[in-house]
Chain A
Amino acid sequence: MIACIWTAATGMAAQQQNMDVIANNLANSSTTGFKASRANFEDLMYQNIVSPGAQTSNGNNVVAGIQFGMGAKTASVQKVYTEGNLNETDNPLDLAIQGDGFFKVLEGTQEVYTRAGTFSLDKDGYLCDAQGNRLQPEISIPQGTVTINIDSGGTLTALDQNGKVLSTQNISLFSFANPAGLLSLGKNYAIPTAASGQAQEGQPGMDGFGTLLQGYLENSNINVVQEMVNMIVGQRAYEANSKVIKAADQMLQTANNLQT
C-alpha cells in the first residue's frame, strides 16, 4: 500500500507536467507561428510477482499472473506541427508559409529556424525578423525601393517609384525530416537536434516545401477550446490521483489504530 501512494504521486506529477504544457500553449495562443506542444504519457515498469504465461510445475501456463504497475511518466513533450490559420495584415514584409518549412535567421553566430514571418528592414536595409536578426541567406533591399513584391515561389522583387526593377532575390526555406524533434529556444526560434535531422534548403513551392504568402502572418495553431477541455480532464485526473493518496493514507491509519 505504500507502493500505491508513490504510484498515485507519479500520476499527479504527470498531470502537473500536462498542465504546464497546456498553460504554455494557452499563454502563446496569440504568438505568431507558435506550434502547440503536447505531453505524451507512458506507463512505468511493472513488478511481476507471477508472470502471465509462465510455465507451472504441471506443464500448463499461468493464465493470469500478478503484475503491479508503478504508475505513469511523461514520455515526451512533442510539438504538433499542424498549420495555424492565416491572418491578413497588409504589411508587405509579413510572410506566412503555407505548408512545410522554416525561415532561417542568424542570431549572433547561431543559425536558428522560425515560422514567424514578421520581417522588417534593419538600418542597413537588410531583411530581419522581429528580434532584429537577419534572414539567411541575407537579402538586402536597394536604396530607392518603394514597392516590394514577394511571390509564392519566394522571389523578392524590389521596385522604385517608376516601377523599375532594382533587384530580384530569392528567399529560401528549410525543412526537417522530423520537425517535432526540433529544440525550441523561445522567441519563436528552434534549432535542429539529432532527432530532427539536418536542415534541407529549398525554394518555396518545391517538393516538401510550402509556398510563401505576402501580407499574411501565420497564427498559432492553438485551439483554445481544445486546450480548455484538456485542462479540465487533466485537473480531474490530478484530483483522482490525490484521492488515491488520501484513501491509502486512511487505510494505513486504520491499520495503525488496530492496537488500541
Chain B
Amino acid sequence: MRIGVYSAALGSIQQEMSMDVIANNLANASTPGYKKDGVLFSNYMGQSTYTDMQQGTIRKTGNPLDIALNGKGFLEVQSNQGLRYTRAGDLTLNSQNTLVTQEGWPVLDQSGQPIQFATTTANPHIRIDSSGQVFDGVNQNPIATIGVVQFANDDQLKKIGDNCFQAAPGQAQLMATKPYTIEQGALEEPNFNIVEQMAHMIQTSRIFESNQRVLQTFSQQESEVTKTLGNV
C-alpha cells in the first residue's frame, strides 16, 4: 500500500476528532462561562485540543446572585474533590446561607474561606461591587471579597465538567494581578457564536469527504493495477 493511503486515513480520523469538539461546543451553547475547545493540527502525526480562554459576551439577567467576570481569571470553588476554578457565575445560596455554585460547592473569598451571609439576609439585598466586595445590605462594611484567581498559563487547566477547571498538579495559582471587574446581575455567555461553529462543522465534514475520496481513488487505482498486471 502506498503511504498516501495512511495519510488519507489519518486525515479522516483527525476530522472525526474535530467533529467531536465542535459537537461539544454546540451542545454547550447555553452554558454560562463555557470556553470553546479547538483542535490543533500541528504536524503530520501530532494533534491536540486546546481551550480558548477568550472573554465571552456578558448578558444581563437581573438576578442578584448572578455574577460575570470581565477580564482574566476564575472564581475559586471548594468542591468535594478539592479546589476547582470556574467562570460560571450562576450562584445561589444554600440552606445555611453560604454562597454556592449550582453544584452546591462554596465559592471562596480572597482568603480562601466560604462566603457566609447572616440568616436574616435576603438575596435581593445582596450587593456585589465591581471589585468583588460583597455587601449583605445590613452591615456598612463588605462581609467578604470574592476571590479571583489567575494562572500564568491557562493552557494547563483541565476541563472536568460541571463548568469547572482543575489545575495541573504543581501548577502555581496566584491571586489576581491583572485587571478584572465583576458584574452583578449578569452572566458570561459561551465564547463562541453558533455561526462560526457551523462553518467549522461544514468545513470539517467536507475535508472528511475529500479524504474519503482520496481513499476511494487509491482503492480504484490499486484494483486497476492488479487487473492490468494480471493480464500481462
Chain A interface residues toward B at CB < 8 A: 1, 3-5, 7-8, 10-11, 14-15, 18, 38-46, 48, 50-54, 61-72, 75-76, 78, 80-83, 99-100, 175, 177-181, 194-197, 200, 207-208, 233-234, 236-237, 240-241, 243-244, 247-248, 250-251, 254-255, 257-260
Contact with A along B6-35 (1 / 0, CB 8 A): 000000100111011111111111111010
Within the assembled complex, what's the spacing in Å between the Cα atoms of A240 and B29?
9
| Contacting pair A207 B168 (CB below 8 A) | no
Chain A residue contacts of B168, Cβ below 8 A: 51-54, 61
Given the known interface contacts A46-B159, A65-B158, A251-B16, the answer about A71 and B24 at a Cβ–Cβ threshold of 8 Å is yes
Within the assembled complex, what's the spacing in Å between the Cα atoms of A45 and B165?
11
| Contacting pair A197 B95 (CB below 8 A) | yes
B96 within 8 A of A: yes
Given the known interface contacts A65-B49, A195-B94, the answer about A240 and B103 at a Cβ–Cβ threshold of 8 Å is no
Within the assembled complex, what's the spacing in Å between the Cα atoms of A241 and B30?
12
In the A-B complex, list the 9 residue pairs whose CB atoms are closest, starting with the nearest.
Answer: A53-B168, A11-B27, A69-B24, A53-B156, A4-B23, A237-B29, A197-B95, A45-B161, A71-B27
| Contacting pair A237 B30 (CB below 8 A) | yes
Contact with A along B62-90 (1 / 0, CB 8 A): 11100000000000000000000000101
Chain B residue contacts of A180, Cβ below 8 A: 92-93, 123
Q: Which of B169, B198, B209 has a CB less than 8 Å from the CB of A251?
A: B209
B37 within 8 A of A: yes
Within the assembled complex, what's the spacing in Å between the Cα atoms of A51 and B156?
8
Q: Which of B12, B95, B102, B198 has a CB less than 8 Å from the CB of A240?
A: B198
| Contacting pair A241 B27 (CB below 8 A) | yes
Within the assembled complex, what's the spacing in Å between the Cα atoms of A229 and B181?
27
Known contacts A82-B64, A207-B138, A240-B29; can you find 9 more A-B pairs with CB under 8 A? A40-B32, A46-B159, A65-B158, A66-B47, A70-B24, A78-B90, A178-B94, A178-B95, A197-B96
Interface of B is mostly: mixed
Given the known interface contacts A52-B156, A208-B121, A251-B16, the answer about A237 and B26 at a Cβ–Cβ threshold of 8 Å is yes
| Contacting pair A64 B24 (CB below 8 A) | no
Within the assembled complex, what's the spacing in Å between the Cα atoms of A125 and B93?
39
Within the assembled complex, what's the spacing in Å between the Cα atoms of A197 and B163?
26
Within the assembled complex, what's the spacing in Å between the Cα atoms of A68 and B124?
39
Please count the residue pairs between chain A and chain B whose beta carbons lie under 8 angstroms apart in the complex: 236
15 contacts between A and B (CB under 8 A): A11-B26, A42-B31, A42-B102, A53-B171, A65-B48, A69-B28, A71-B28, A72-B28, A72-B30, A75-B102, A177-B121, A208-B120, A234-B30, A236-B194, A240-B194
| Contacting pair B159 A43 (CB below 8 A) | yes
B202 within 8 A of A: yes
Among A4, A65, A67, the one with the most B-chain Cβ atoms within 10 Å of its Cβ is: A4
Give the nearest-CB partner of B28 in chain A.
Answer: A72
Using a Cβ–Cβ cut-off of 8 Å, how many residues does chain B contribute to the interface with A?
74
Given the known interface contacts A41-B28, A180-B92, A244-B201, the answer about A80 and B63 at a Cβ–Cβ threshold of 8 Å is yes
Within the assembled complex, what's the spacing in Å between the Cα atoms of A62 and B15?
22
Query: How close is A130's CB to chain B, nearest CB, in angstroms?
Result: 25
| Contacting pair B122 A175 (CB below 8 A) | yes
| Contacting pair B162 A42 (CB below 8 A) | yes
Contact with A along B216-228 (1 / 0, CB 8 A): 1001000000000
Q: Which of A15, A38, A207 has a CB less than 8 Å from the CB of B120?
A: A207
Which residues of B, 146-189, contact A by the 8 Å Cβ criterion? Answer: 155-163, 167-169, 171
Q: Which of B62, B122, B157, B205 has a CB less than 8 Å from the CB of A250?
A: B205
B58 within 8 A of A: no
Chain B residue contacts of A4, Cβ below 8 A: 16, 19-20, 22-24
| Contacting pair A81 B158 (CB below 8 A) | no
| Contacting pair B162 A43 (CB below 8 A) | yes
Chain A residue contacts of B16, Cβ below 8 A: 1, 4, 251
Query: How close is B56's CB to chain A, nearest CB, in angstroms?
Result: 14
Within the assembled complex, what's the spacing in Å between the Cα atoms of A257 and B219?
12
Give the nearest-CB partner of A248 in chain B.
Answer: B19
Query: How close is B121's CB to chain A, nearest CB, in angstroms?
Result: 7
| Contacting pair A244 B22 (CB below 8 A) | yes
Chain B residue contacts of A3, Cβ below 8 A: 20, 23
Within the assembled complex, what's the spacing in Å between the Cα atoms of A1 and B27?
15
| Contacting pair A244 B26 (CB below 8 A) | yes
